[in-house]
Homo-oligomer: A and B are copies of this chain.
Amino acid sequence: MPESPFLAACNGRKADHTPVWFMRQAGRYMKEYREIRKKASILDICHTPELACEVTLQPVNRFEIDAAILFADILLPFEPLGLGLSFPEGRGGGPVIDRPILVPADVDRLPDVSPGDMQYVLDAVSLIKKELAGRVPLIGFAGAPFTLASYAIEGGSSRSFIETKRFMYSTPEAWHSLLSTFAEMVGNYLVAQVEAGADALQLFDSWVGILSQHDYERFVAPHSKRAIEIAKSASVPVIHFGTNTRELLGSMAQAGGDVIGVDWRTPIDEAWKEFPERGVQGNLDPTALFAPQDELRAQVRDIMERVGGRAGHIFNLGHGVLPPTEPDALDRVIDYVREGA
């Protein structure tokens, strides 16, 4: 069987064509997904391997994409951690953590969580892998220690991350203890996903761009590094992703990852200069999918031209597919990438 273009790019090798997948390619923008959500909550889907499998395969069946990504949520480990997790309707669908981490003692009280505590995720991975039957590789994933900590401390989404940084600056020992706990947990969880069948991994540090480089280096990098180090023991490629990371790209690459994910703010060739020895994933603006075809094609072309056919590029958005996106726009992007835009 020929190597998949996605895995070739992950490994820095020239691929048959530039591989494409989309962060949040399974989600609300698809009618098939909304149908399932009528009868099952987000957590129901995550908890039920058959549903997680079905939702994971929806975009694989619909689009000519080069990878599947497990349907799950980065915050699922908060359930066995005893933090509580729900996605109430009518709050933009964002997560709510019922018992956030407020003081250092809350960190000490966290139970040990092992991958088996998310057995349903591992079962979903095995089932998806079987159903994919080798069509495309399957990406497993987890939240990075910082992004997990920000949710655990803020109790949900945040704009300013005041409580996260207050905790970080005021009680650095408890902070490092928390991130170290998360790093081990996440690393082991990623390894277990590979053992269950995942062909590659992505570490989502979505909100890390709220930090200065100095704070990233001091408070976060060692823990991301540890999580990736453990994950790499499973010998599959790891993609390391964040947004608003222009200043952090070099440090993130130092922390680890075979491929670094980049948002749309930085031209992809300029970003790549910060980690020339790794692969790059990105970086179309998700809102470009709302543009007329000419504009969309021009933006895809700009990325392709900046990459100039260099091996190690995975085409993706700079962040997840936005819920109001028209699925047809994804077809167009794939066509444009295939045609070299």
Contact = CB atoms under 8 A, between A and B. Distances in A.
B266 A165 contact: no
B247 A265 contact: yes
B288 A169 contact: yes
Nearest to A214: B302
B267 A160 contact: no
Contacts of A291: 165-166, 169-170
Nearest to A285: B212
A132 interface: no
B165 A324 contact: no
Contacts of A58: none
A212 B290 contact: no
A295 interface: yes
Interface string A255-288: 0000000001111000000000000000001111
Given A246-B246, A247-B266, A265-B247, A165 B212 contact: no
A290 B160 contact: no
A244 interface: yes
Contacts of A169: 287-288, 290-292, 295
Nearest to A172: B295
Given A169-B295, A170-B291, A265 B244 contact: yes
A30 interface: no
Nearest to A248: B265
A213 B166 contact: no
Contacts of A287: 160-162, 165-166, 169
Contacts of A288: 165, 169
Nearest to A92: B159
B265 A212 contact: yes
Contacts of A160: 286-287, 322
A143 to B, nearest CB: 18
Contacts of A290: 162, 165-166, 169-170
A291 B291 CA distance: 43
Contacts of A166: 287, 290-291
Contacts of A322: 160, 162
Given A212-B265, A212-B267, 10 more contacts: A160-B287, A162-B324, A165-B290, A169-B290, A169-B291, A170-B295, A212-B285, A213-B267, A214-B302, A247-B266
15 contacts: A160-B286, A160-B287, A162-B287, A165-B285, A165-B290, A169-B288, A169-B290, A170-B291, A212-B285, A213-B267, A214-B267, A215-B285, A244-B244, A244-B265, A246-B265
Q: Which 7 A-B pairs have the closest CB atoms?
A: A169-B291, A165-B287, A166-B290, A246-B246, A169-B295, A247-B265, A212-B264
